[in-house]
Structure 1
Amino acid sequence: MESGFGLYLAMPVGTVTGIADWWRRVDSSVLWQERIWLGLAIAYAVIAVIALVQLIRIRFRAPEYGWTTQKVFHLLNFIVNGVRAAVFCFREDVQALSPEILQHVLLDLPGIIFFTTYTLLVLFWAEIYHQARSLPTDRLRPMFLIINAAIYLSQVFIWGYLWYTPSSLMLTVAKIFFAVVSLVAALGFIIYGGRLFLMLRRFPIESKGRRKKLREVGCVTAICFICFTIRSFIMAFSVFNKAMDLDVLYHPILNGIYYTVVEIIPSALVLFILRKLPPKRPPGQYHPIR
């Protein structure tokens, strides 16, 4: 008779085998592929609409401010999620595009814009921190633009190389590039988000809005650091494990989990946390803010 201990060991193995079989069946099912792509498209479309509505609300609430960091953040969120929604809605058509470089552009570009969108928060927090510490801020914005320009130019070079000379080596370089970019974003959040959080903690307890701002900075820092770290790890791991390949039709579950964890959930949470509208200025005190 099999011992109780033997049965205990056998149960997890059977469970894991069952999950693996189910995973393979779903990956090979055209119906499930279509359901997952459609689910991702709907989720991205909802977030895009929320970002657009919030942008319009901010525009009507404080039109005198011009294009502030908050407005650009919501605009970029709308663009990223809108493009993602369109790509996943027509996922099979995108996969059939020719030349193949068009597929890479449509799948990679939203990820780069996602980086720009959320590092805007890092820039905003860095400016607040430097101003509070009486440190110079004149180099922060140019540095942000230089870093982003370098990333976009590097990505264009990768696309150009893949267009003229498609190679598995350059695809590996592209994955490593995305992993490094994501790691840079994660470090930016932990450095400046962490600094701003610690600075706010030192403010007097009676400071107006201190607790709310402390919670806001802490939550956004944690969410963005985790999502970009996971993104970096998965992209780096996919270089050495073909079973972790993303942006392919035959891995719908992996794609569903990946995009939900590193983009959809973080975007939804951050938009919810940063939902507060800017205060209205009293009549006669409207001045453009640069």
Structure 2
Amino acid sequence: MFEEKGWSCSFPEELVGLNLVFACFDVLIAILAFTQLARIRSRNKQLGWTRQKVFHILIGTTNTGYFIYFVLSLVAACRGWLCWSYSCGFVAMAFPRILLFATFLLLLSFWVDLCHQADDEEEEDDEQGFLEALIQNSLNRPRSSPADSRRSCYPFRLIHVGSRQKIVVLVTVLVFLLMMTFAVLIWIGMEENPIDSSTVSRVYVDLFATAILLLGAALACYGLLLCRKMRNVRSERASSEIWKVAGLAIVSVLSFTSSALVALFTDIPVLYHWHELHIDGVYTSLLLILYYFIGSSVPSAFVLWVMRELPPMTLANTQEESTTVTFITDSSAQIRRPQNWTTSASSQNQVSRGSPI
């Protein structure tokens, strides 16, 4: 299936250059995501897998997948790989798109959590509690058991997955299985049989584009709802978080709408099957920019920019955090605590507060 027809690349020159630009941009985003993940891990190793780390892993993996896809697309076109025009190119195209879908579906699940938590806090009529419900970090819960030092060697045990996040994992697995089913059908369609591989791939692209549109609409609705709730909180931090949520909602809607429309009405997503498509250099290049750059790279980069803040450093000596010393004088009884205890307490308070993403 990987027979080569010599190195005579007939791929349009405009698309060759554009693919190289996309590959460079995606590998840059992936490097930034993994580098930031390493910095976050080095600053606070006791928190386990926080929401911030999970998003960086997903974004880094997504853009790594796109980088591989763009590079292999050029190599396959010049080498004339037969398999690439069918199931192999389809899997390479669909897999990073599924990871991008999972990233923003996870973002939506956290926004839904925050909106429902905010509703619960409104019933208590407590403004400070309402703010904490809006900006708390719900993915990772701090643990204070004596076994923390041993658990730090097994970070996956520190993951706390909410009910809605479990739904995200389930949906992602189902979409991946659906994609693999379509890939098998496309592979079967390579032989002499009634299955048309191009039709099968188009059906998958249309279904996934519809799911992307629905995800963008859901992010817009819950982003607006979350911003309205946060406007009732009189806090500078709430104001800054409003801009983050609003920016993410706007970028998500514009990016996903443009990419979904391109997928529904053009053959851009199945460009790996390029030798059977009519390609106009300038027109196809514009559609590629809308689908890949605006539809994938821009929202990924924007999430990295929003989550650029590093967590506070943790203190090395955790045993001193729980110790207190009492000094009693003849004039009055005064309770004093060491400076490192107060520093640790304020640091833990900052760590326990997250952002709406």
TM-score range, shorter chain: 0.7 to 0.9
The structure 1 residue matched to 2:88, chosen from 93, 102, 114, is 102
Within a 5 Å distance, the mapping from 1:77-92 to structure 2 comes to 77-92=59-74
Corresponding residue for 1:210? 238
- Out of 135, 153, 157, the position equivalent to 2:181 is 157
Contact 1:48–1:81 under 8 Å retained in 2:
yes
**Deviation (angstroms), 1:264:** 1.6
- The alignment covers a number of residue pairs equal to 256
TM-superposed CA distance for 1:183, in Å, is 1.4
Shift of 1:73: 0.8
Q: 1:50-90: per-residue Cα shift (whole Å, max 9, x none)?
A: 11111111111221111122111111111111121122123
CA distance in 1, matches of 2:172, 2:265: 24
Q: Secondary structure at the match of 1:154?
A: helix
What does the per-residue CA deviation read over 1:206-227, in whole Å, with 9 as the maximum and x for residues that have no partner? x240111010111011101211
Q: Which residue of 1 aligns with 2:106?
A: 120
Q: Is the 8 A contact 2:213 2:256 kept in 1?
A: yes
2:219 corresponds to: 189
Cα–Cα, structure 1 residues 274 and 169, in superposed 2: closer, same or farther, change >3 Å? same
Residue identity over aligned pairs, in percent, reads 25
> What is the CA deviation profile of residues 91-145 of structure 1, one whole-angstrom value per residue up to 9, with x for unaligned ones?
222444443311110111111111011222112222222222229x964223222
In structure 1, the gaps of 5 or more residues are: 1-27
1:237 touches 1:244 (CA, 8 Å); kept in 2? no
Q: Is 2:116 the partner of 1:130?
A: yes
Distance in 1 (CA, whole Å) between partners of 2:96 and 2:200 is: 19
SS of 1:90 mapped into structure 2: helix
Tell me, in whole angstroms, the C-alpha distance in 1 between the residues paired with 2:164 and 2:290: 35
Inter-CA distance 280–208: structure 2 relative to 1 (3 Å threshold): farther
- Structure holding more helix per residue: 1
Task: Measure, in 2, the Cα distance between the counterparts of 1:31 and 1:235.
Answer: 23
Change over 3 Å in CA distance of 1:211–1:50 after alignment to 2: same
- TM-score between both structures, scaled by the size of structure 2: 0.65
Q: Which structure would you say has the larger RCO, counting Cα contacts within 8 Å and 6 or more residues apart?
A: 1
Alpha-carbon distance, 1:260 to partner: 1.2
Task: Flag the 1:173–1:65 CA change in 2: closer, same or farther, 3 A.
Answer: same
1:104, 1:159 within 8 Å by CA — same for their partners in 2?
Answer: yes
In structure 2, the residue matched to 1:4 is none
- Compute the displacement of 1:265 (Å): 1.9
What does residue 17 of structure 1 align with? none
Q: Displacement of 1:246 after TM fit?
A: 4.0
CA-to-aligned-CA distance 1:261-281 (integer Å, 9 cap, x gap): 111222222211221123345
**1:209 counterpart SS class:** helix
Report if aligned partners of 1:44, 1:84 keep a CA contact under 8 Å in 2. Answer: yes
Q: Which residue of 2 aligns with 1:33?
A: 15
Question: Do the aligned partners of residues 30 and 144 (structure 1) sit closer, same or farther apart at CA in structure 2, a change above 3 Å counting?
Answer: closer
* Equivalent position of 1:227 in the other structure: 255
Kept in 1, the 8 Å contact 2:186–2:200? The answer is yes
Bigger Cα Rg: 2
Deviations 1:167-201 (A, max 9, x none): 13312211211212211321221132222111111
Relative to 1, partners in 2 of residues 1:78 and 1:243: Cα closer, same or farther, differing over 3 Å? closer
Residues 243, 141 of structure 1: CA spacing in aligned structure 2 closer, same or farther, 3 A cutoff?
A: closer
Amino acid at match of 2:65: V
Change in 2 beyond 3 A, CA 1:211/1:112? same
Counterpart CA distance in 2 for 1:212 and 1:270 is 15
For the residues of structure 2 that align with 1:101 and 1:267, how far apart are their CA atoms?
26
Given the superposition, is the C-alpha separation of residues 37 and 248 from structure 1 closer, same or farther in structure 2, using an over 3 Å criterion? Answer: farther
